[in-house]
Amino acid sequence: MNTTNMDFNTKLVHAGGYEDQFGSATVPIYQTSTFAFKNAQHGADLFAGRDKGYIYTRIGNPTIDALERNIAELENGYRGIATASGMGAVNSVYFALLKAGDHMVSTNSVYGPSRGVMESFYANFGVESSYVDTSDIEKVKAAIKPNTKVLYLETPSNPTMLLTDIEACTAIAKEKGIVVVVDNTFSSPFLQKPLDLGADVVLHSVTKFINGHADIVGGIIVSKTPELDARIRKAMIMLGTNMDPHQAFMVIRGVKTLSIRQERAEENARKVADYLEKHPKIDWIKYPGLASHPQFELAKKQMSGFGSMISFGLKGGFEAGKTLMDSVHLAILAVSLGGVETLIQHPASMTHAGLSKEAREAADITDGLVRFSVGIESVNDIIADLEQALAKV
Ligand SMILES: *Cc1c(COP(=O)(O)O)cnc(C)c1O
């Protein structure tokens, strides 16, 4: 089925155009490592690219291919490259686009390991990187050097919920031939389409919204052009960051309900945000859908909705954060986000506990900061859970 001219919600269910020889309504799992050649000439033609077909699962597999085509259509890109995890996607992109002597500019509050791998490993190979508040376009301009090859953005950023203007950043990068990569995990293509805003490459941890059921990890990269796709695909194949066919099957199943999951989660999140904003024990709240968010206007322009991720600060600081974590019953105390279940996390005592208080504060991770990923349960139960837990704080 060709879904090119159909709507997003139809694409979620059908894009990819997989056609099964037995008429299977779903994409089968081709759980095989390798594919038989019909004869010596067929093998030679496949390797030379004269014939289309499958050789070996690390290079390509029908189940993985179906997912790659589906997400590429959702992001309005040329082609997708599915990976073992979100970090598999990040590393495949870095490896393909950067070499010794090159420089990358990135969002300062980017996903921790996306920065960590650059500073702990790529730096050993002579790749430089700078981390700036990309929500301030002047800081992006100032950070660009003659050897800058990649501008790597994450918006909204985690856990500060700051937005970066993708269109404005892309305009600067284009003049200088810099490749713009956007980690779109926090929005998913349901809310934001970076390639339409001028970016060259978009990537995801499909672990989060795209799969949406907290049952697999995975990643995907979508490039705008065949040239970028070929460069990154070669890196993925040689690094061995490929997805597995069973994983791909799970994601194909999960993505079909992306819109209805995100619509419900956002409806819930707006109510939770309104509730928290008025709560006496809450110091501040960052949710792009509140008029109090510093970039409410940009959120309305760049995204088609405000999502279901909320950050808030407790007046009681560190101890209040820990008490809240120990008092919730419905919200699962866990990292990750974007699933059907509500998750809660306290960065100062959990994900960012390894950093000093000074380092945390430099990254705007205050002691009372709580990250809340609103699920699709009944909003009454989500708010009742917060109410009883906040009463103990
Ligand atoms: C989780 C996450 C990643 C890493 O993905 P994994 O699937 O855990 O490897 C990258 N970027 C963002 C924004 C994330 O939230």
CA nearest to 379, candidates 287, 264, 268, 262:
268
Q: Report residue 342's pLDDT band, with 50, 70 and 90 as the boundaries.
A: very high
Relative to the CA of 338, which ligand 1 atom is closest?
Answer: 15
Select from 3.40.50.300, 3.20.20.70, 3.90.1150.10, 3.40.47.10 the CATH code of 259-390. Answer: 3.90.1150.10
Residue with tokens 């997708």: 80
- Measured CA distances, 370 to 53, 55, 193, 324, 346 (Å): 49, 47, 27, 9, 5
With a 6 Å cutoff on the Cβ, whether 170 touches ligand 1 is no
CA nearest to 36, candidates 52, 55, 62:
55
Is residue 363 predicted with pLDDT exceeding 80? no
Q: Is 18 a catalytic residue?
A: no
CA 183 / ligand 1 centre spacing (Å): 9
Is residue 186 predicted with pLDDT exceeding 90? yes
pLDDT reported for residue 354: 82
Q: Is 281 a catalytic residue?
A: no
With a 6 Å cutoff on the Cβ, whether 156 touches ligand 1 is no
Bridge-based pairing of strands 332-333 and 343-345 is parallel
For the chain, how big is the Rg over CA atoms in Å? Answer: 21
Quick count: other Cβ atoms within 10 Å of Cβ 133?
A: 17
Q: 3-state DSSP call for residue 367?
A: coil
The sign of the dihedral angle between the CA atoms of 374, 376, 377, 379 is: positive
Q: Is 367 a catalytic residue?
A: no
Is residue 285 predicted with pLDDT exceeding 90? yes
Residue closest via CA to ligand 1's atom 6 equals 86
pLDDT digits (tens, 9 = 90+) for 226-276: 999 999 999 999 999 999 999 999 999 999 999 999 999 999 999 999 999
Q: Report residue 332's pLDDT band, with 50, 70 and 90 as the boundaries.
A: very high
Relative to the CA of 154, which ligand 1 atom is closest?
Answer: 13
Average pLDDT of span 36-47: 97
Bridge-based pairing of strands 343-345 and 369-373 is antiparallel
Is residue 85 within 8 A of residue 205, CB to CB? The reply is yes
Tokens of 343: 């998750």
CA 111 / ligand 1 centre spacing (Å): 7
pLDDT reported for residue 364: 83
Q: State the catalytic residue, choosing from 18, 30, 58, 264.
A: 58
Q: CA 359 from chain center: how many Å?
A: 24
How far apart CA 221 and CA 262 sit, in angstroms, is 21
For domain 8-30+61-255, the CATH architecture is 3-Layer(aba) Sandwich (3.40)
Residue closest via CA to ligand 1's atom 4 equals 86
pLDDT digits (tens, 9 = 90+) for 148-180: 999 999 999 888 899 999 999 999 999 999 999
Residue with tokens 């090159």: 102
Let me know how long the chain is. 393
Quick count: other Cβ atoms within 10 Å of Cβ 93?
A: 29
Residue closest via CA to ligand 1's atom 1 equals 205
Domain 259-390 in the same topology as domain 8-30+61-255: no
CA 280 / ligand 1 centre spacing (Å): 33
Beta-carbon contacts of residue 11 (< 8 Å; ≥ 6 apart): 3, 70, 73, 74
Bridge-based pairing of strands 309-314 and 369-373 is antiparallel
End-to-end, the C-alpha distance of the chain in Å comes to: 54
Task: Tell me what the pLDDT averaged over the chain comes to.
Answer: 96
- DSSP-derived letter for residue 34 is B
How far apart CA 193 and CA 187 sit, in angstroms, is 9
Tokens of 35: 């594919």
Average pLDDT of span 124-131: 97
Q: Report residue 58's pLDDT band, with 50, 70 and 90 as the boundaries.
A: very high
pLDDT reported for residue 200: 98
Interaxial angle between packed helices 86-97 and 112-120, expressed in degrees from 0 to 180 and rounded to the nearest 10: 40
Is residue 134 predicted with pLDDT exceeding 90? yes
pLDDT reported for residue 103: 98
With a 6 Å cutoff on the Cβ, whether 103 touches ligand 1 is no
pLDDT reported for residue 258: 98
How far apart CA 210 and CA 15 sit, in angstroms, is 14
Is residue 196 within 8 A of residue 77, CB to CB? The reply is no
Is residue 179 within 8 A of residue 203, CB to CB? The reply is no
Helix (H) or strand (E) holding 176: none
- What are the residue ranges spanned by the domains of the chain? 8-30+61-255, 259-390
Q: Report residue 138's pLDDT band, with 50, 70 and 90 as the boundaries.
A: very high
Tokens of 374: 């609103």
- DSSP-derived letter for residue 257 is T
The pair phi, psi for residue 130, each rounded to 5°, is -130, 140
Best residue for ligand 1 mutational test, from 106, 207, 241, 243 (most atoms within 8 Å of Cβ): 207
Q: Is 56 a catalytic residue?
A: no
Is residue 59 within 8 A of residue 237, CB to CB? The reply is yes
CA 205 / ligand 1 centre spacing (Å): 5
With a 6 Å cutoff on the Cβ, whether 208 touches ligand 1 is yes
pLDDT digits (tens, 9 = 90+) for 67-81: 999 999 999 999 999
How far apart CA 60 and CA 307 sit, in angstroms, is 33
pLDDT reported for residue 300: 97
Please report, rounded to a whole number, the percentage of residues in the chain having pLDDT higher than 70: 100
Sequence-ordered alpha helix ranges (H) in the chain: 8-14, 40-48, 62-74, 86-97, 112-120, 137-143, 166-175, 188-191, 226-239, 245-255, 258-278, 296-302, 317-327, 357-362, 379-392
Average pLDDT of span 50-57: 96
Is residue 220 within 8 A of residue 247, CB to CB? The reply is no
Is residue 109 predicted with pLDDT exceeding 90? no
How far apart CA 43 and CA 54 sit, in angstroms, is 10
Q: State the catalytic residue, choosing from 102, 183, 367, 385.
A: 183
CA 96 / ligand 1 centre spacing (Å): 19
Q: Report residue 357's pLDDT band, with 50, 70 and 90 as the boundaries.
A: confident
With a 6 Å cutoff on the Cβ, whether 86 touches ligand 1 is yes
pLDDT reported for residue 92: 98
